[in-house]
């Protein structure tokens, strides 16, 4: 067994690697560039890594024998590297899906953080920040509903996630409205405490 590609048993891959494997598990043959675009459609619930990171993960998966490449020459442009998942890769991915422990979502909500520290800011600015976030959330729901029409019957599980995402953003919007109303009450309530 010289230096042939031996699919190692427990590669202990980083989370991003599994995300890439999962995208490839849909069966298409795609480039790293394509993957990045797909990943951006998932940004609603899973933060997309930098583009350079995706290329790195693909190389790693290749070394582990979990994906395979086939080159497609292009004149005056870097050759296309079309990746496809291997049987070994599919097995590793399914093992991860079925056996990985359930972890909590990783959330860093900078807007909530700024509200938390509201005692150091002026209400005017705080209001701006919250409103801007609310607008952003509205945009996200719009983007998601657009996406969902594309998915619906063709990709049922992604469609479920899209529905979930819509509910999430809807909740954020009403939560912001509640906060905004509470801020009002705090301001006017300061002079008339019973």
Binding site for a second copy (CB under 8 A): 15, 19, 22, 25-26, 42, 45-47, 90, 93-94, 97-98, 100, 102-122, 125, 129, 132-133, 136, 156-158, 160-161, 163-165, 167-168, 170-172, 174-175, 178-179, 182-183, 186
Provide the 3-class DSSP secondary structure of residue 47: coil
- Which structure tokens are listed for 31? 């480039």
Q: What is the DSSP string of 118-186?
A: GGGS-HHHHHHHHHHHHHHHHHHHHHHHHHHHHHTTTSHHHHHHHHHHHHHHHHHHHHHHHHHHHHHHH
Distance of closest approach, residue 38 Cβ to DNA, in angstroms:
12
Among DNA, a second copy, none, residue 6 binds (CB under 5-8 Å by kind):
none
With CB under 5 to 8 Å by kind, the binding choice for 87 among DNA, a second copy, none is: none
In whole angstroms, how close is the CB of 71 to a second copy at the nearest point?
27
Partner interacting with residue 80 (select from DNA, a second copy, none; CB below 5-8 Å by kind) = DNA
Q: 167 contacts which partner out of DNA, a second copy, none, CB within 5 to 8 A by kind?
A: a second copy
Nearer to DNA, 38 or 163 (CB): 38
Give yes or no for a contact between 159 and 151, defined as CB atoms under 8 angstroms apart.
yes
């Amino acid at each position: 067994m010289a230096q042939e590609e031996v699919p190692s048993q427990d590669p202990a891959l980083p989370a991003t690697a599994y995300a890439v494997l999962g995208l490839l598990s849909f069966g298409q043959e795609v480039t790293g560039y394509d993957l990045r675009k797909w990943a951006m459609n998932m940004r609603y619930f899973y933060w997309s890594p930098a583009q350079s990171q995706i290329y790195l993960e693909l190389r790693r998966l290749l070394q582990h024998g979990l994906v395979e490449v086939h080159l497609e020459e292009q004149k005056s442009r870097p050759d296309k590297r079309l990746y496809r998942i291997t049987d070994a890769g599919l097995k590793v991915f399914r093992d991860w899906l079925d056996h990985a422990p359930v972890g909590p979502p990783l959330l860093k909500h900078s807007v909530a953080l700024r509200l938390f520290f509201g005692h150091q800011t002026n209400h005017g600015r705080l209001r701006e920040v919250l409103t801007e976030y609310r607008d952003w959330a509205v945009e996200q729901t719009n983007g998601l509903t657009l996406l969902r029409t594309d998915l619906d019957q063709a990709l049922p599980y992604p469609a479920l996630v899209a529905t979930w995402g819509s509910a999430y953003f809807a909740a954020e919007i009403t939560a912001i409205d509640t906060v905004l109303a509470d801020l009002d009450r705090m301001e006017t309530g300061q002079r008339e405490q019973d």
